[in-house]
Amino acid sequence: MGNLPIRPIIRLAITSAAFIVFWMTFVSSKIINNHYFHDNLRRMAYLTAIPYGPLQCGMLCTLEGRCAAVNYHMESLTCELVETSASDVSDSDGWVSTSDFSFVKDLLGSCASVNIDESNSCVRLRNGGNAIIVKHCPVPTAVLHANVTFDKRTVGDIIEYTCDDCYYSSGGSTATCLSDGQWSSVNVQCTSSSTVADIRLVGGNHSAGRIEILYGGTWGTICDDGWDNPDAAVVCRQLGYSGGQVTVSAYFGEGSGTIWMDDVICSGNECMLSACNFPGWGVENCAHSEDAGVICIGN
């Protein structure tokens, strides 16, 4: 029997291997990227490992401080690490989500003899060694109309909440990752400038009148020097209207007491009147015969 041609066989083998790799990659990507849970319980993963057995997957999550659950696909041996806990659920595509790692409990221990600080926890390994895990706090709680900025979420790290434009903060704006792996309480609230009760209309009705502003616990008026429609736009928007026009020369009657603002210059885009440019609180050269007002339109 003659010798078989070597090169064609090699080319065929290479082509077949390439096709198999391509097919496995394609099928794997379809499995990984197109799965879902009908009850929306499957959590977004932050790390994917493949191929990984279920024991490896459970250990990987246990040894990763951020991990609270896994998504596991037996057919593709895909392990996904998740930051939020999950009930034991499965879907028709073969994925399972769980936070129950009892199947690796024989690998875990208290590490009672290991001296570690409160920012870490310990996992005892099967070979008798130990793994030190840095504690992580969960993803920060969302606050309505606020953004939260953070670089890390380990014990002692601080996150800060910043209110959106035209919203103002009340309560604390920061939270600290505590040694129990939880954030200190977050009580920040972001309030729209339109609900901040620091201006009012007097001498007219609910949508028109002399403007008075509260500063230092005392209500006072605004002088009409430089008072124009961009200023009225800001005042009326702060009061919940879409726009308005100015009045001058105490059109709605003279006020009394302090004149808090003079020479006010607004671009018209400010969230509230006190954000406009002016010389300073109580800096003025006016009389109440120059008290400013507005007529607002459009609820």
Query: What is the residue whose two structure tokens read 């999550």?
Result: 61
The answer to whether residues 184 and 176 touch, using CB atoms and an 8 Å cutoff, is: yes
pLDDT at 275: 83
Greatest CA separation for the chain? 119
Closest CA to 53 of 61, 42, 65: 61
Highest CATH level, class, for 146-191:
mainly beta
Collect all residues with Cβ–Cβ distance below 8 Å to 14 and sequence separation of at least 6: none
List residues bridging with 48 in a β-sheet.
80
Collect all residues with Cβ–Cβ distance below 8 Å to 55 and sequence separation of at least 6: 103, 104
pLDDT tens digit sequence for 248-287: 999 999 999 999 999 999 999 888 898 889 999 999 999 9
Q: Could you say which DSSP state residue 117 is in?
A: -
Highest CATH level, class, for 199-297:
alpha beta
Q: What is the dihedral of CA 276, 279, 283, 285, to 10 degrees?
A: -100
pLDDT tens digit sequence for 224-241: 999 999 999 999 988 889
pLDDT tens digit sequence for 51-96: 888 888 887 887 776 788 888 888 888 888 888 777 777 877 788 8
Q: What is the dihedral of CA 38, 49, 133, 182, to 10 degrees?
A: -20
Cα–Cα distance list, 98 to 48, 54, 261 (Å)? 15, 11, 61
Q: Where are the domains of the chain?
A: 46-84+93-116, 146-191, 199-297
User: What H or E segment, with its residue span, contains residue 211?
Assistant: strand 208-215
Average pLDDT across the chain, whole number? 77
List residues bridging with 72 in a β-sheet.
79, 96
pLDDT at 43: 66
